[in-house]
Amino acid sequence: MQVPVAGAAALHVLGDALGSVGVIAAAVVLLTTGWPYADTVASLLIMLLITPRAFALLREAAHVLLEGAPKGLDVTEVKDALAGTPGVVEVHDLHVWAINDRTPAASAHLVVDSGGDEVRPATGCGEESVLDRAVTILRERFGLDHSTLQLEHRAHSAHEHRCS
């Protein structure tokens, strides 16, 4: 379950409020009955309420910090879609990540098969460049509005693989 930052803050405040209620209840039990473990029981109940959400928030934060792919997005499917773009012969160095729950991003190197037309902007009449087609696929099929794509000719790609 992904909770936006405002939702996480609200849950934190609710946890604090429940903690306060628990402390007050423990104080009332201790004052009226003298039972010395009331505070310990209240503390354990508060811990049981807070711990699962704390681990969930920690897991979500680690996923973002480690630049994990957005939930529900299959990176292999993104790669296959880019590889199926007319004019693209290979896709490598594909990275898909999200820095928050609203901004997924992608970057990739696309090896193209033609001699320069792939980077020219569309001139109208339904003509699109390889770059235009790839960006449209990322945006429309996967909701990746922010993408950085590097187009490479086969010769450059061979050099890149040889030197890495």
pTM score of the predicted model: 0.65
- Are 136 and 119 spatial neighbours (Cβ–Cβ below 8 Å)? no
pLDDT at 19: 84
pLDDT at 1: 45
φ, ψ at 90 (rounded to 5°):
-160, 150
Strand, helix or coil at 109?
A: strand
The segment with the largest mean pLDDT, out of 13-27, 130-144, 150-164, is 130-144
